[in-house]
Amino acid sequence: MESSQTKSRVEGPVESRQGLSPSGQSPSQQDTSHSKTRKIKIGILTLCCLGVLCLIVLLIGVSLTLPPSSSEEVVSFDVPTGSSSRVIAKRLIEQKLIRSEHVFRLAVRYRGTGRHLRAGTYVLRRNMALWDLLNEFEKGQVTLVSWTVPEGLTTSAIAELWELRGFGTAEAFRKAAESPHLLNRSGLTDKTVEGYLFPNTYKFAKGTTTEKIVEMMLDEFKQQWTEKFNEEAQNLGRTRHEIVTLASVIEKEAQFGLERPRISSVFHNRLTRKWKLQADPTVLYALGNPERPLTKADLQVDSPYNTYKYKGLPPGPIANPGLGSIVAALRPEKTDYFYFVAIGEGKHHFSKTLSEHNRMIRKMRRASK
């Protein structure tokens, strides 16, 4: 009995020396448990910090997409042709239409706005959020400018008008008018588009390239020149180019629409008899269209455009005629007239014989003295 009790008393302290805790875990087990707890706490704390950080970033990002102003002021914003998102962002910052250049570029990349961005002038408001601006850019609803090209201008004069309106340089327009690509596309064999830039009022986005404008004018001519016109030209024994050339001469001679078919009849009658056209505007074109009356010496200039020196039509148009003159060239009035002379106020006197024509010339000279 004593031996048994003694053994019990001895075993108790031995177990305590082996390190058992009141919970029944050894020290190594306790260390592992504490380590796991610390890791869990650190993980939770890290996640909380990341969550807070993401929330802060999100709030900052959202704030940077908000309108930079509460003003409803309307602003015209130009997007030049070929502008990158970087260039546009800088321009938006300069005009105080966005809060952050970088956020704008990220948003453009995220939404793919760059693929749909159209050059031109946009009407924006200062109180528009970033997403609203992108919506406007994606719609492509740019403000269109209007440009009216009168009938009867030469290509060079149209180029000067282009520069005068501030759309670009005259030199750039002339180069576009000589573009081999545009000439081939329009089926033109000359080195210039003279005669085929259709006079009209054109609407386009500001910043549209000169090449695109020339292309628009050539396309307008193709729309105006119908298949019926081809048939009428063939019936007259003329090509489209010859009709356009004749129409350009009629355009420069006529100041009243009602006179165009009659002037056309004079030229058709002279062409039929193989006479020289003797049209002053063709000589002026050969001389570069000086702003002065023709002299007798001018009529001797050696140029294929000088219809006082050479028979038939000039080699090409001398201006860009309107539809009225094209129709007049195709549908001349039936007359026996071979001559006409200006009698003032844009009107002309028409004669059947040279003697009658000369009498009218003498009469006009006396009246002008």
Which residue segments constitute the domains of the chain, with CATH numbers given? 74-142 (3.30.1490.480), 145-224 (no CATH), 253-335 (no CATH)
Q: Is the C-alpha dihedral spanning 322, 326, 331, 336 positive or negative?
A: positive
Residue 4: its pLDDT value, please? 46
Instruction: Write out residues in the chain with pLDDT < 50, as ranges.
Output: 1-20, 59-61, 63
Lookup: tokens for 143: 């403000």
Cα(91)–Cα(107) distance, integer angstroms: 16
φ and ψ at residue 350, rounded to 5 degrees: -110, 140
Residue 146: its pLDDT value, please? 93
130 CA to centre of own chain: 26
Residue 28: its pLDDT value, please? 63
Quick one: which of 151, 257, 359, 281 has its CA closest to 349? 359
Residue 9: its pLDDT value, please? 45
Cα(189)–Cα(321) distance, integer angstroms: 18
- In angstroms, the Cα distances linking 260 to 162, 164, 328 are 28, 30, 6
| Maximum Cα interatomic distance, the chain, rounded to a whole number of Å | 170
Residue 6: its pLDDT value, please? 43
SS3 at position 206: coil
Lookup: tokens for 255: 């100041």
Beta bridge partners of residue 122, listed in sequence order: 77
Secondary structure element (H or E) that encloses residue 75, with its range = strand 74-79
Tokens 């009659």 belong to residue:
262
Residue 45: its pLDDT value, please? 74
Cα(342)–Cα(253) distance, integer angstroms: 9
Cα(134)–Cα(113) distance, integer angstroms: 7
Tokens 């453009």 belong to residue:
108
* Cβ-based burial of 50 (10 A; exposed 0-12, middle 13-18, buried ≥19): exposed
* Per-residue b or e along 220-236, where b marks 16 or more CB atoms closer than 10 Å to that residue's CB: bbeeebeeebeebbeeb
Quick one: which of 360, 367, 319, 318 has its CA closest to 339? 360
pTM strictly above 0.75: no
- In angstroms, the Cα distances linking 304 to 289, 301, 316 are 15, 9, 10
Residue 66: its pLDDT value, please? 65
Secondary structure element (H or E) that encloses residue 122, with its range = strand 120-125
Residue 3: its pLDDT value, please? 47
Residue 131: its pLDDT value, please? 82
- In angstroms, the Cα distances linking 175 to 107, 171, 245 are 39, 6, 22
